Structure 1
Amino acid sequence: MTVTVRNVAKTAGVSSATVSRYYSGSNIVSTETARKIEKAANELGYNPKNRKRRDNGVIAVLIPDLKLGFYAEVLKELIEQIPKYNYRMVIIPTVEGSENYKIFFKEMSIIGVIYLDESIDRNIINYIASKNIKTVLCAGASIEFRSDMIHINDMAAAYEGTKYLIGLGHEKIIFLSDYLRNIDSSFQRVTGCKRALEEIGAHLDEKEMLMCGPLSFESGYRLTKLLLDKHTEFTAVFAFSDEMAVGAISALHDVGIAVPNDVSVLGFDDIAIAGRVIPRLTTIHQPIKGMVSKTLNAFQSDTNHSNLEITLPYHIIQRGTCAVNRRINIYDKKKN
Structure 2
Amino acid sequence: MFKALLITKTDDVGYRCALTELDEAQLPAAGDVTVRVDWSTINYKDGLAITGQSPVVRSFPMVPGIDFAGTVTDSAHPRWKAGDRVILNGFGVGETHWGGLAQRARVKGDWLVPLPEGLTAREAMAIGTAGYTAMLCLMALQKHWAEAGVKPGSGEVLVTGANGGVGSVAVALLAAQGHTVVASTGRLAESDYLKSLGAAEVIDRATLGAPGKPLQKERWIGVVDSVGSHTLANSCASTRYGGAVAACGLAQGMDLPASVAPFILRGVTLYGIDSVMAPLTRREAAWSALAQSLDRGKLAAMTTEIGLAAALDAGPQILAGQVRGRLVVNVNA
TM range (shorter): 0.3 to 0.5
- Structure number with the higher strand fraction is 2
TM-score scaled by structure 1? 0.34
- Structure number with the higher helix fraction is 1
TM-score scaled by structure 2? 0.34
